[in-house]
A = this chain, B = another copy of it.
Amino acid sequence: MTTTAARPAEAPYVSAELYAEVQAFYARQMSLLDGSDIDPVAWSQTFTEDAVFGTNMQEEPDVGRAAILESLNGGLKHIHGQGPVDFRHWFGMVDVQEQPDGSLHTRYYALAMATPQGGSLKIRGHMLCRDELVRRDGRWLVSRRHLEADGLPA
């Protein structure tokens, strides 16, 4: 996935409508994983059926909603297996570049943080994220996501 064909500083800005929709999409998407009423299946449905989800923490990306959901459930088991915790994802510093076919390439930062019940907040890590978003039936879906956790060898 090439999201940097144009140097970001030179690329045109997307419309305010698109920029706001992307921000709202991310808020809603990640709310499905956070807090006490998480809904992993609904979260997986914010990806296309054939979405590709890769990270710098694994050799091969997950391909398809079922595989993405399976990886997520593994991660949730790990996080929530250590006792009740409020987990939160923050996305910020969002850049959006519209492609000729109407899809969007985004680049943003993510912070993962958690507060165990009765404990204090801990920032768990920072990631650089890149998505390809496509519109299906009027809604945005993620067709590709790549996460690079900070602090790992490139």
Binding site for B on A (CB under 8 A): 7-9, 11, 13-17, 19-21, 23-32, 34-36, 42, 45-46, 86, 88-96, 107-109, 111, 113, 115-121, 123-126, 128, 139, 150-154
Contacts and interface: CB of A to CB of B under 8 A. Distances in A.
B9 A150 contact: no
Nearest to A39: B7
Per assembly, the copies of the chain total 3
A117 B153 contact: yes
Mostly, the A contact residues are mixed
Contacts of A92: 90-92
Nearest to A87: B150
A16 B94 CA distance: 15
